[in-house]
Structure formats: C-alpha cells, structure tokens
Chains A and B, each alone.
Chain A
C-alpha cells in the first residue's frame, strides 16, 4: 500500500477513536467518575488475556465481551468495597485496579511465550500498526480492524446517548430524582460503564490503556470549560477530540515520536490554551474582570461603610477621608483612588474633609446589601 494512504488511514483511525472515547467521557466528567475509566482501562487486562487464551486471536469479538464483563466487574468491586465502609472511594479504586492489572501482567508473562500479546502493546498501544491489521473477509482485505471496531463503538455510543438522552441527563444531574421517577439510575449507570469498558478495549490497540484516559477525559473537560449545555458539550467534545487526534498525529509524524503520546500531549496543550483564552470563563477574562471588579467592589465597600454609619454618633469619625484607610485597612493610596472613583461616579460627595453619601450611593449600598 502507498504510504500516504496509510497516513490517511491512521489519521482517520485516530479521529474515530478519539470521537468514540469522548462521548462516554462527557458523562464521566460530569458525574465525577473519570477515574473509573482509569481503573477500568487497567483492570480489564486479565479479562482480555483469558479470552485470548481461549480464542488465540487478538481480534476475536470474545475479547471485547470478556473485557466488558471485567470492566463491569471492576465497577462492582469498587462499589462493594465502598459499601463495607472500611475503605473510602479513592482507596477502593486505588486497590482494585492494580490488583486486577497485576493478575493480567502475571498471566501474560507466565504463559505468553508463543503468543503475540505483550504488556508494552496493551499499556502503550501503537497507532502506527493499526492500519496494517486488516479485516479479512473471504480472503479480501476490506480495511483496518481498528477502524471497524472504533467506528462501531462510535455508532453504539451515539445510539445509546440518543436513545437514553433524557435518562442520562437526569441521572447525571439528579440521581435521586431519577430514581423516584422510575428511571432506574443503576441500569443507566451500568450501561454507561459497559460502554466505557467496550470503548476502552476497542481503543487499546491504538493508544493503550493509559492514554485512552486522555482521550476519555481530555476533550470533555476542555468542552466543559466552554459551555453549560450538555448537547453542546457532547458535540464540542467530539470536535475537540478529533482536532487533538489529527494535530497530534501530524505533529508526531513531523517529530518522529510516539503517536499516542503526542496526541495526549496536544490534549493537555489544548486544554490549557482553552482555559487561558475562552471567553467569560478563561483565565485572561477572569483576570480582566477581577481587576475591574476590584475597583467596583472597593467602591461598594466604601458606600456600604458610609451607609452603615450614617446618622450614628460615630459617623463623623468614620467618614473622615484621612481616616478611611485605617478603618478599612486599605493602603492610603488605594483608599484615595477608591474615593476618587466614587466621587467621579457620584456615589459620594465631599464636604470639607468628610464624605457624604449621595442618593445614588445610598441606593447602591442598599442594593448590595439585599442581594
């Protein structure tokens, strides 16, 4: 095959894989369960190995079935451990997946002398080989297995989300309400976990078990910085995932380094970039707003201070410009600037060395206080 063709195929596989992973990731991020994907991606190893021993094939569908079962088993394990009240949630996850992963590693190194399954591949994956493993039907190669598997997972994830959109939304934002309305949150929960397991095992070949977490968590978290709407977050996650995958892939070719690793690095880069520049919520706009609000806030403090002491015996002392900074513990220069701003905004009037509230200033104080 021509190299360009392979490059194109690899890029497409990367994009489809990233899109398939991003969809269930949205719900994991919103439900604060992202680390379950980390746990699942490691813990399904023994399931894969056992299925492999039975079938002697890396592309058998039984592998996906076994991995899904092990993934759900992991979730059940973690929940059972928590239910004993002897272990907190984080420790329960931290206990379960290394143990299962260890079993998988031992099985592989003990019995895999003459079979093609090594820990390197499972843990790290190799996207470059993905297009070479072609699906063979009646002796005709009809495209890479990975493309079919991940394409199927993408369609399955989209279908699940479309069919159970309302239920997923409710379970995500109010699980107890979902239960009282008869929406069976447990069923949706395990359905989602099954999808995560299946998507993870499908993505194994391409990116390995650690970097799949970057594909599952990265794009949804980035999208979460940009929008409040669930629908938009789902769409954005797929778009961001695809952009990360594509640019990461080309960058890795250019630099001649690990493909999956570069995609993960780009994921972090894009996350940080979005965090810095996204309108309204980004660091830049937060900082800008912060500066603006600092002066606004200080003026409000000033009018409230005057308002609180208005008409009281100590009012004269409290409204003395020269003493303001002492009362409010402000830098004298800061206090003077606030007073100047407040005078400009006609919140206060200066009479001799004292500040008096205007109607406007009094209204502002009252408004702030009833908030």
Chain B
C-alpha cells in the first residue's frame, strides 16, 4: 500500500495542444509541499505552457491539475504567479508601488480599492526585494533586474503558499539573481512551495532541491541528486548538450 500524502501540486495526464500541434503530452507531475522545484528543458519544450496550464490560463485537451487536492479555481488565493517579464509593456503609466499593489487585487475582490493596509503590505514586500528607494519610480526607468524584483514583490504580496515563476532569472544581473534565489530559498524554509521555469543548467544543482526535466513530455522529475543525471539530460536535450558541470 502506498501512503497517500498531500501534494502541493498534482498534475495528472495533462495534454495541451495549440490547434492541432501538441505542446505537452500526457504530463504527470507531483510536487510535494515545501520544495524549490525548477522546470528545465529546451526552447519550445512547453515549460511556460505547463505553468499556464497549472494556473488554468490555457485549456488542456486532457488531464487534470490539483492544488492541495482541489481544483485551481477554488485554491486561487494560495497561488502566487510571476509571469515572464517580457509579457507586459513596461512603458505602461504606473510606478513600482502601484504594480506591487496589484498583488492585493485578488484578495480585495471586485470594485474595492486598495487601502492603507494593502499599501503597508506592498511596502513590506518592496523592502523584501530591496526596492524601497524606488517606490514611486516609473517602471520603464528600472533595469531588467529591478523590474524582475518588482514582479516578485507583487507575488509576495499575494501571500501565497505556492509560487509559480516563469523565468525569473531571464536578463537579470548577477546581484539580483543571488538576491532572488536567497528569497526563494527563504520561502522554502517557511514551508512554501516554489516552482520556477529555469534556463541555466549550470545553476540547477546549486539553487534547487527538486527538478523536472521537460521536453513536450516529462522526462523525469524528483530530487535533484536522483533526477539531474547525464542520461536524463541527454534524453531531454537530445544529445545537443555538450558539457554539464557535475558537482
């Protein structure tokens, strides 16, 4: 008999297709609570689509996603989301505080405006990512790393149990990358589950404790030491990978 433990995220037999081309084939993924998981795979492997499918942003052709044993629609408030930085127009007329405050919109519900308490929560999150000097700065005047910090602060304000982040290290400076990973590790220490779409194979073993290798189908997933093997990587990248630093 298997012991049925509660999974933070449970993806079963998930298939997603755009028109007639499949993007994800029959994905199974169990994420236990309190892990820092990276999703790794080549371009076009469906990493972003998997995140979006978990969030209910794309409709699957088959399969199911559960967040703590319930569908996403009812568990929305315990999930925080960091979209790809490139998915928004940073010339939008708004400032740092305002963007971070958007993380409170879900809790506020319809029509209600954010108040003093929401502002304090937002300020707290901004301090957490070290952006307190820039609260009133227009977002187009931030560096790539600073923009990413703003997005992460917005997710922190959601005060979630599970965080899904789409390429948070894309185009950020080394200092920001270290700051972000420290923050993610702190979240994990506090029992949160963090799922990150990641590109840089070199840092997987340093940053994460779980990994999922994905290329349209799931190649492997589990603790980094068992899963992040040369064989699995070769299967994921199809021999295109020349050299992996193994620690």
Contacts and interface: CB of A to CB of B under 8 A. Distances in A.
A and B in contact, CB less than 8 Å:
yes
Nearest to A327: B13
Interface residues of A, number: 17
Interface stretch (A21-29, A232-240, A266-274, A300-308): A300-308
B62 A329 contact: yes
A308 B26 contact: yes
B227 to A, nearest CB: 16
B48 interface: no
B63 A304 contact: no
B12 interface: yes
Contacts of B206: none
Contact of B64 (A298, A329, A371): A329
B93 to A, nearest CB: 12
A187 interface: no
Given A305-B13, A308-B28, A329 B60 contact: yes
Interface in B151-198: none
A289 B21 CA distance: 13
Interface in A91-128: none
Contact of A293 (B20, B26, B62, B218): B20
A330 interface: yes
Interface string B23-45: 00110100000000000000000
A328 B63 contact: yes
A290 interface: yes
A301 B26 contact: yes
Interface string A339-371: 000000000000000000000000000001101
Contacts of B22: 297, 300, 368, 371
B20 A304 contact: no
Given A305-B26, A308-B26, A297 B13 contact: no
A308 B217 contact: yes
Given A327-B13, A368-B22, A368-B25, A304 B217 contact: yes
Interface residues of B, number: 17
A297 B61 contact: yes
Nearest to B216: A369
Nearest to A369: B217
A204 B151 CA distance: 52
Contacts of B61: 297, 301
B234 to A, nearest CB: 14
A328 B62 contact: yes
A341 B175 CA distance: 56
Contacts of A327: 12-13, 63-64
Nearest to B15: A301
Contacts of A293: 20
Contact of B20 (A297, A301, A305, A329): A297
A329 B25 CA distance: 14
Contacts of A329: 13, 60, 62-64
Nearest to A330: B62
A304 B60 contact: no
Contacts of B60: 329
B64 A304 contact: no
B220 to A, nearest CB: 12
Nearest to B140: A85
Contacts of B20: 289-290, 293, 297
Contacts of B64: 327, 329
Interface string A275-305: 0000000000000011001000110110011
A301 B216 contact: no
A329 B64 CA distance: 7
Interface in B5-21: 12-13, 15, 17, 20
A287 to B, nearest CB: 12
A200 to B, nearest CB: 32
A328 B216 contact: no
Q: Count chain B CB atoms within 10 A of each CB in A290, A300, A327, A330 and give the residue with the most.
A: A327
A329 B53 CA distance: 14
Contacts of A297: 17, 20, 22, 61
B62 A369 contact: no
Contacts of A304: 15, 25-26, 217
A301 B28 contact: no
Contacts of A289: 20
Interface of B: 12-13, 15, 17, 20, 22, 25-26, 28, 60-64, 216-218
Interface of A: 289-290, 293, 297-298, 300-301, 304-305, 308, 327-330, 368-369, 371
Q: Which 9 A-B residue pairs are closest in the complex by CB-CB distance?
A: A328-B62, A304-B26, A327-B13, A329-B64, A305-B26, A293-B20, A301-B15, A328-B13, A304-B25
19 contacts: A289-B20, A290-B20, A297-B61, A298-B62, A300-B22, A304-B26, A304-B217, A308-B26, A308-B28, A308-B217, A308-B218, A327-B63, A327-B64, A328-B62, A329-B60, A329-B62, A330-B62, A369-B25, A371-B216
